[in-house]
A = this chain, B = another copy of it.
Amino acid sequence: MALDEFELIRRHFAVAELSFPAPGLVLGIGDDCALLEVPPGEQLAMSMDCLQEDVHFPAGCDPRRLAEKALRVNLSDLAAMGAAPLCFTLGLSLPQADTGWLAAFAQGLGDVAQQFRCPLAGGDTTRGPLSICIQVQGTLPRGKALQRSGARVGDIIYVTGRLGDSAMALPLVLGGDSALSDLPDADREAVLRAYYHPEPRVAAGQGLRDLASAAIDLSDGLASDLGHILQASGVGAEIDVERLPLSELSIPTATERDRLQAAISGGDDYELCFTAAPENSERIQRCMQELGLAVTAIGRIRESAGIEWRGAAPDIIEPGVTGYRHFH
């Protein structure tokens, strides 16, 4: 029997694991609009990220992992703004209504939705090439958003976690089972997690609201995303390359140079890159320690434009290549 659109949505998405009640979500799936209430003194932050098959993820990839990634990368934008997740909406385009695929996809979404207490509030399901458009909504106290434009000369530049894991994992993920089969089980799972399960730094973002001057999440690579902060703030930066927390993924064929390039130009890490006045340094370390999250000072904001990569071989930064781009 053919499933119609409404039945499809109801069966897989209007379930307690995915569209559960949450503070501020007055009305969820099932009407012309969802309804939210923002507490007095708070603002609503929202961000949309769309993933296309064959562009952002390989065709035929595990729907549960794919769903996890799609929601995680969106939550990362809330993290970068210092917002607490409230709910998300889903625009899903599918070539056909495959019940097994939908069940796995909904399961992946539900796992992340529950982890971050961020339920599905609505959306649209259409027939078409596989693509996933998610918009996340979050809240934060008025005036406390971590914008890109706040970096000041003398600020220290930090990153959370390690850089380049996802870029290191990518060739193996794209290579599929044959590329992955050479790895021991634990390493294989680590590679898949690096690519599909980025950890949105939601708690860190909120903790940094009163400490950081500017923040962004690393989706296109350090060079590109730090560039956005510099441009929005009208400043430049010097980065101590030997301080970069390089990927430690166990990939026997990877060279040190691969790891360095992945850290600088690789995308999809979803760590936070942020700037802060030097006097906040101790409080930042303490805040991150409480969250069990590594944080590394990698450089400093300066007046003259651009990024100086100190201690890097001159050819490590390919001219013009600053990160992941569409429409080349």
- Would you call B5 and A326 a contact (CB within 8 A)? yes
Give min CB distance, A120 to chain B, whole Å. Answer: 11
How many Å lie between the Cα of A78 and that of B32 in the bound state?
7
- Would you call B129 and A124 a contact (CB within 8 A)? no
Chain B positions within 8 Å of A78 at CB level: 32-33
Closest partner residue, chain B, to A2 (CB atom): B328
The contact of A33 among B81, B126, B127, by CB within 8 Å, is B81
Closest partner residue, chain B, to A147 (CB atom): B31
How many copies of this chain does the complex contain? Answer: 2
Q: Size range of the interface on A? A: 35 or more
Closest partner residue, chain B, to A146 (CB atom): B32
Find the residue from A5, A83, A135, A232 having the highest chain B CB count within 10 A.
A135
List residues of A (123-175) whose CB comes within 8 Å of B's CBs.
Answer: 123-129, 131, 133, 135, 137-138, 142, 145, 147-149
Give min CB distance, A72 to chain B, whole Å. Answer: 14
The contact of A4 among B77, B215, B232, B328, by CB within 8 Å, is B328
> What are 21 of the A-B contact pairs (CB < 8 Å)?
A2-B327, A4-B327, A5-B325, A32-B80, A32-B81, A32-B217, A33-B45, A33-B46, A33-B81, A35-B43, A35-B81, A37-B38, A44-B44, A47-B122, A48-B124, A50-B93, A52-B128, A96-B327, A97-B327, A124-B133, A125-B326
List residues of A (1-60) whose CB comes within 8 Å of B's CBs.
Answer: 2-5, 8, 26-27, 30-38, 40, 43-56
- Would you call B52 and A122 a contact (CB within 8 A)? no
- Would you call A33 and B97 a contact (CB within 8 A)? no
Chain B positions within 8 Å of A27 at CB level: 145, 147
How many Å lie between the Cα of A89 and that of B50 in the bound state?
12
Give min CB distance, A185 to chain B, whole Å. Answer: 34
